[in-house]
Structure 1
Amino acid sequence: MENRKPAHPDALPFCVDLDGTLIRTDLTFESLLSVLKRAPWTLFLLPLWLLRGKSHLKHQLATRAHLDTTVLPYNPAVVELTRAARAAGRTTVLVTGSHEQLAQRIAEDLSLFDQVLATQAGTNLIGSNKARRLDEVFGQGNYEYVANAHVDLAVWRSAAAAVTVNAPRRVVRQVVAMGKPHKDLPASGNPLRVWLRAIRIQQWVKNSLLFIPILTAHEVLNLEAVVDGLIAFVCFGVCASATYIVNDLLDLDADRHHHKKKNRPFAAGTLSVQWGIASVVGLMLTSLLLALALPLGFQLSLLGYLVTTLLYSLWLKRVASLDVLVLAGLYTLRIIAGGFATGIALSFWLLAFSMFIFLSLALVKRVAELVEVRKRETVAKATLGKLRGREYDTEDIPVLQSLGTSSGYLAVLVLALYIHSTEVFELYRRPEILWFIAPLLLLWVTRLWVVTARGYMDEDPIFYAVKDPETWATAMAVVLIMLAATFWPL
């Protein structure tokens, strides 16, 4: 190793780490997710690749992954520092443990680096390996190093100056103790708020469908059923959060091309892929353990929900028509699970109504996405093609609208038939009063589809309905009608 005379601090080569520093993610894990999404069976090859060394594993993943490096979550502060260093005439170097194939692509995309040092066959360029390589190229103590992790301490010890980016406090303290020129770029934002966004806590409202059997069977005063319903609610919430994270991890590329979804925590890099994978395991185990307190039927329903949502994330959502049927089925499955959890038998009418109304809502979701694509086509005066990650085109909007409105109206027809069934007389003293619900639901379904056609619909109709005052007014009117039908004197 050659010891060279240190250059002036403002003239030192500016060496920038990639994973977690220049980009708010880790390319090895992103490559892994990309490969598993396209070929899940490669999971069984990972141990064999790893036995030949981490550099070989990274090579295999890099050559198989399909990553769009232009939309990676770059850290603007680090990009600006690098740009300023290059403008000052300093040598800028991208030095990373990621595979050289990916590192070269990023360097070409940014046009900010004079040199790229990355993992190659037989050399995993992290920690002490990276320090030795930089010492060989520039001389010990003759470069500035920008990075973020504990493994980078070995490099900072050999560097003349340090920049820490989103680094843990203990790492920053160790770098400060080295007594070298140091600049810190701390992480911003509230971690709790970021995690609540990642698990989509607001989406737990969908799990209130688990209480539908209690309400329709008039068992709201049954304390045991209500407690079991609450446990089931938490089980489904935790499990659903795990599947949302799985979906986000598998949809990183598609989300980063989306005008809204690009701000999701994993797509934006505010949460790491590693933490996402760990949280999925923890949430799923928590959900399954809680489910042991409930009947076997509920446990099987939860397992069916988990398997179906994972298949949906991996494959089913890209199959046109089947995807909306699966979404409608997952909504209905919550009601079925609620029946198993509380021990309340479900009627044919409830299940038929649920399937049709939720199919309508699933189609609303797809049409809303396509309407947004069509609006952006109009603004850009260009054809954007299919909905990214889905097998739909804007030309499909009319037929999907027809199917969706028909399904919504069929749900109202099922309700009308239910009012004349024998089962209704066991629950209501004046079932004819229930007829007032039919026009209310017809009005609500019609308005929902008009709002969607005009482009005002959020992409999740359930979440839109929760925020919509007219939906709340309709729901309150329905409850009052049901109470009147139950207690009105004969």
Structure 2
Amino acid sequence: MEVKTKYDIICNKSENFQIFYKRKMVIMKQESSFNVINKKEKNSFIDAVICFIKLIRVRQWSKNIFVFSGILFPSGVIGLLQVIQLFIAFFLFCVISSSVYIINDIIDLEKDILHPVKRFRPIASGKIKVKFALAIFYIICPASIILSFLLNKYFGIILCIYFVINLSYSLKLKEFVFIDLLIISFGFVLRTLSGIIIVNGTNSFWFLLSIAFLSLYLGMNKRKKELLTLAEDSEKHRKNLGEYSIELINEIIPMLTACTVISYSFHTLYEVKVKYTFFTIPIVVYGVFRYQYLTDKAGYGESPEMVLLKDKPIVLALVVWGVIYISAKLLTKSF
């Protein structure tokens, strides 16, 4: 007896009951293909986002928290508007610093390929093309400068100075010994000064000087770590690394440590004029010592921003310092 069926092929039990329905299989194949494409598109999109985040170095945006130093030196009561302006200033500094990082990665492309860590950066690894990186630069750099002048003209001027100096650093000045570190230090001073300007605060010479010495201290430790990491290939990555030496850096670091602590102590004793703020001096000393320990033991010297992201004692020290410093000022005003 002939049996009619809608299936094109029927196999018996000995052939594992393989039943194929032509129309159904076409649909299943199309769905399977579609799912694979969607998965690939999803993965490629996630990879592109991760590469973009690495390109603009979001991880290093923590350096721009110095903009919020303006909260410490208000000329009056800080309102909600000024707080919002500080956050906008912080964001604009992040954007302009990211644009500098893009140019720096393009210029240092060949050198970064030789570096054991930097060779994984998006441009050096080939995950992002130079043309695409330049396109991002041409968008975010002008936008951040225009918005900075709309926020505050003096802040806009500071942002332009920061960009020009750091662009000069990327193009040529980083090849000169000590000049490279002085430019990095000046960048941190500009961040701090911009925050003070946003809140119309009072300038603090000794505090700015302590920021300058602290950033020089961090920079020296970074150079030391680069020398240890790159060893004989250090000059291939950065020309002026040959001018530095472990012995020289070990002599300079104690001086910068002392200058940082002394200048901050002068700030608390002669500028703030709030007697309780001197209790923050031991916290600053601990923070510097803790960072030096991490540099020698944990290898964070080449990435100072990682300390703020990973080391809990440093984060706790910063929080305690902020609470004591601000509380001391508020208590003095109350009485």
TM-score bracket for this pair, using the shorter chain length: 0.7 to 0.9
* Alignment RMSD (CA, Å): 2.5
Q: Which runs of structure 1 show a deviation greater than 4 angstroms over 4 or more consecutive aligned residues?
A: 186-189, 218-221
Question: Where in structure 2 are the equivalents of 1:40-439 lying within 5 Å?
Answer: 190-217=47-74, 221-374=78-231, 383-384=232-233, 386=235, 388-393=237-242, 396-421=245-270, 423-425=271-273, 428=274, 431=275, 433-439=276-282
Distance 1:278 1:220 in 2: 42
Residue in structure 2 matching 1:472, options 292, 315, 319: 315
Distance 1:313 1:483 in 2: 37
Residues 72, 326 of structure 2: 8 Å contact kept: no
Between the aligned residues of both structures, percent identity stands at 26
> Deviation at 1:389?
1.8
Q: Structure 1 residues 251-260 or 383-392, which shifts more? A: 383-392
Give the letter aligned to residue 370 of structure 1: L
> Deviation at 1:484?
4.6
Residues 214, 220 of structure 1: 8 Å contact kept: no
Distance 2:75 2:311 in 1: 26
Residue in structure 2 matching 1:445, options 267, 278, 288: 288
Give the letter aligned to residue 304 of structure 1: I
Q: Structure 1 residues 266-275 or 187-196, which shifts more? A: 187-196
Residues 294, 301 of structure 2: 8 Å contact kept: no
Residues 220, 226 of structure 1: 8 Å contact kept: no
Distance 1:361 1:343 in 2: 29
Distance 1:271 1:373 in 2: 25
- C-alpha distance after superposition, 1:16-52 (max 9, x if no partner): xxxxxxxxxxxxxxxxxxxxxxxxxxxxxxxxxxxxx
Structure with greater helix share of residues: 2
> Deviation at 1:295?
2.2
> Deviation at 1:386?
3.0
Cα–Cα, structure 1 residues 399 and 281, in superposed 2: closer, same or farther, change >3 Å?
Answer: same
> Deviation at 1:370?
1.5
Distance 1:447 1:198 in 2: 30
User: What is the aligned length?
Assistant: 292
Cα–Cα, structure 1 residues 471 and 452, in superposed 2: closer, same or farther, change >3 Å?
Answer: same
Cα–Cα, structure 1 residues 473 and 195, in superposed 2: closer, same or farther, change >3 Å?
Answer: same
Aligned to 2:22: none
> Deviation at 1:458?
4.7
Distance 1:259 1:219 in 2: 50
Distance 2:176 2:133 in 1: 26
Aligned to 2:28: none
Structure with greater strand share of residues: 1
Q: Structure 1 residues 270-279 or 206-215, which shifts more? A: 206-215
Give the letter aligned to residue 115 of structure 2: H
Residues 71, 78 of structure 2: 8 Å contact kept: no
Residues 371, 453 of structure 1: 8 Å contact kept: no
Cα–Cα, structure 1 residues 468 and 390, in superposed 2: closer, same or farther, change >3 Å?
Answer: farther
> Deviation at 1:395?
6.7
Question: Where does the alignment leave 5 or more consecutive residues of structure 2 unmatched?
Answer: 1-42
Aligned to 1:485: 328
Cα–Cα, structure 1 residues 484 and 210, in superposed 2: closer, same or farther, change >3 Å?
Answer: closer
> Deviation at 1:364?
1.6
Question: Where in structure 2 are the equivalents of 1:8-27 lying within 5 Å?
Answer: none
Aligned to 1:44: none
Which one scores higher on RCO, CA 8 angstroms, separation ≥ 6? 2
